[in-house]
Amino acid sequence: MERLKVLVLEDDKLAQKIMASRLADHDVAVAGDLKTALKKLESEPFDIGFFDLMLGPDDDYSGLKAIAAAAAKGVHAVVVSSSDSDEIIDRAYELGARDFYAKGNEDANVADILRKVTQARRSAAAPDVFASAFITGDAALKADVGEALKYAPTDLPIMLLGPSGTGKTSLARVLHERSGREGAFVAINCSAYTEDLLEAELFGYRKGAFTGAADSRKGRLLEAHKGTLFLDEIGTMSANMQMKLLKAIEERSFHPLGSDKPERSDFRIISATLEDPQDLIARGRMRFDLFQRVHGYTVNLRPLADRPADIFLLAQHFMKGGRRLSFTAEAKKAMEAYAWPGNVRELKKFVDLLASGQEGRVGLEAVKKLLKGGARAEAPRGGPLDALYADALKRGLEAALESVSDELVIRNLNENGGKRTKTLADLKISTRLLYATMKRRGLDSQGD
Amino acid sequence: MNSDVSKLLHDLRSKCSSLKSAAELFKDCSAAERKEMLALMNAAAGEITKTLEALTKAL
């Protein structure tokens, strides 16, 4: 880990010793009183400051003054104090504190802060992610991914939604690379295995655990220790496997097949699915408790056809270091109008084929020859209101609104684990509407 | 609760937290560090006793 310059403001000698031990891999300066801390902040550059607030039994939270001084110097100011009333927390943040922790769990908290600060410094120095590791010029996608990157150095699970070929694996890898986690990025496509094989892949097995298990093998969960486990197409997992995975996530421990000895693994989950998880839950294909465990922050990767500016940006990127092509205006128009059902993956294949072809100048004929599928359907442009409008024109306003109402009610019911009284209160709807919705959706209307 | 009692309770929480963290850290310390840590832990325990006495008087 990168060596950081850290200031600790703490009057208690034992607490000073504990912080110094926890920060042994960094350059630590300890100040026992406010005056010394302010002097050090004035004369030396620091990356992080850990500040106690009450410096002595009769002190009046003088540590607060150090927060403002540190924040003014760009130091990541962290309060570690036993004074954790709402009023003090508010004052500390107003003065520029970046984090506030109650004393008593320094082992985990200090490690978290160090990882977060180190990663933020690395990210600031790293090349623009949208011009290198995850190419896009789409403003909405940039904002969404940018927000997800803020959670990269945390343990929060991230869920990536989008059709096949939109770059979910690439994004998962970027999130791992910016996580600061020292372990590996381990990816598994859940749809590529039968239930038994998936269990063996995820949890591993001991020699002789089943016919054909000639040797013991480490599972993906263990390979992802201190790293990231990327579960692609999580929605295809059987209910039984979902239950086993949920248990492993909750307990951070599992039994390889044929083993009595549990294995422990500290992995971070990033998951992806092609389908709407709420729909999967409504249809009983995804356990709600598993969804809750894996959906911390969600990124929606829209189809390539919905972000035409990315088509040429990505095409240019795929040609880097190889043969450069030029597209005629007609060719460009045809590419923009194409549906790209295989998304970025299809575009890459398309560019590779053109780059190995005869002509460097690509015309309409060459494009038509390779893009045999249809043009993009004139679907409603953009947001959900456009889709709703199109539906209202097609089926009538009442039917369109009823579908939306049904979706919202079913979603809330699922989120509440089927508790109807909670849904009635949450959505402020009548019992009549709730039961009519359940009847339309074929749900049992007995009990709560 | 008066401010003296609040401050004593804060002091007590703070010192108990430090003592607990020190006990958790102890197993990872070298022999020399353990000696220093034990001395600090004993001093903290003494201060906790004093704070408890002050708290008893204040109530």
Average pLDDT over residues A310-335: 88
Domain architecture of chain A: domains with CATH = 5-123 (3.40.50.2300), 129-300 (3.40.50.300), 304-370 (1.10.8.60), 384-440 (no CATH)
pLDDT band per the 50, 70, 90 thresholds, residue B2: low
For residue A380, what pLDDT is reported? 46
CB contact, 8 Å: A321 with chain B? no
For residue A384, what pLDDT is reported? 63
DSSP of A352-415, one letter per residue?
HHHHTSS-SEE-HHHHHHH--SPBPP-PPPSSHHHHHHHHHHHH-HHHHHHHHHHHHHHHHHHH
Q: Where are the alpha helices (DSSP H) in A85-215?
A: 86-94, 106-125, 139-150, 168-177, 195-203
- Percent of chain A scored above 70 by pLDDT? 93
Find tokens 């001395």 and name the residue.
Answer: B39
**A225, A267 in Cβ contact below 8 A?**
yes
pLDDT at A382 over 90: no
Contact A103 B18 (CB under 8 A): yes
Minimum-distance CB partner of B19 among A14, A81, A106: A14
Contact B22 A18 (CB under 8 A): yes
Average pLDDT over residues A273-290: 91
Contact residues on chain A for B5, CB-CB shorter than 8 A: none
Is the pTM here over 0.80, yes or no? no
pLDDT at A254 over 60: yes
CB contact, 8 Å: B42 with chain A? no
pLDDT at A379 over 50: no
Whole-angstrom Cα distance, residue A294 to residue A280?
A: 14
pLDDT at A354 over 50: yes
3-state secondary structure A234-271: HHHCCHHHHHHHHHHHHHCEECCECCCCCEECCCEEEE
**Crossing angle for the helix pair A343-355 and A309-319, nearest 10 degrees?**
50
What backbone phi and psi angles, to 5 degrees, belong to A233?
55, 50
Which is higher by pLDDT, A437 or B54? B54
For residue A416, what pLDDT is reported? 76
Whole-angstrom Cα distance, residue A3 to residue A213?
A: 45
**A421, A431 in Cβ contact below 8 A?**
no
Highest mean pLDDT among A55-69, A299-313, A399-413, B35-49: B35-49
Average pLDDT over residues A297-322: 89
Which is higher by pLDDT, B9 or A229? A229
Q: Which of A255, A245, A123 is nearest to A179 (CA)?
A: A123
**Structure tokens belonging to residue A416:** 């509440």
Mean pLDDT lowest for which of A11-20, A216-225, A416-425, B15-24? Answer: A416-425
**Structure tokens belonging to residue A213:** 């298990």
Average pLDDT over residues A63-73: 94
Whole-angstrom Cα distance, residue B19 to residue A33?
A: 21
Q: pLDDT digit string (tens) for B38-57?
A: 999 999 999 999 999 999 99
Dihedral, A276, A277, A282, A285 alpha carbons, nearest 10: 110
Average pLDDT over residues A17-39: 93
Average pLDDT over residues A354-370: 85
For residue A98, what pLDDT is reported? 93
Whole-angstrom Cα distance, residue A70 to residue A75?
A: 5
Average pLDDT for chain A: 87
Q: Where are the alpha helices (DSSP H) in A252-363?
A: 277-282, 288-294, 309-319, 329-337, 343-355
**B32, B14 in Cβ contact below 8 A?**
no
Contact residues on chain A for B14, CB-CB shorter than 8 A: 12, 15, 52, 54, 81-82, 103
Which is higher by pLDDT, A234 or A209? A234
pLDDT band per the 50, 70, 90 thresholds, residue B35: very high
For residue A437, what pLDDT is reported? 82
Which is higher by pLDDT, A276 or B1? A276
Dihedral, A72, A77, A81, A86 alpha carbons, nearest 10: 70
Contact residues on chain A for B13, CB-CB shorter than 8 A: 82, 103
Cα nearest neighbour of A59 on chain B = B7
Contact B25 A54 (CB under 8 A): no
For residue A170, what pLDDT is reported? 94
For residue A375, what pLDDT is reported? 60
Average pLDDT over residues A234-259: 93
Q: Which of B41, B31, B24 is nearest to A106 (CA)?
A: B24
Whole-angstrom Cα distance, residue A224 to residue A274?
A: 23
Kindly report the nearest CA distance between residue B32 and chain A, in angstroms: 13
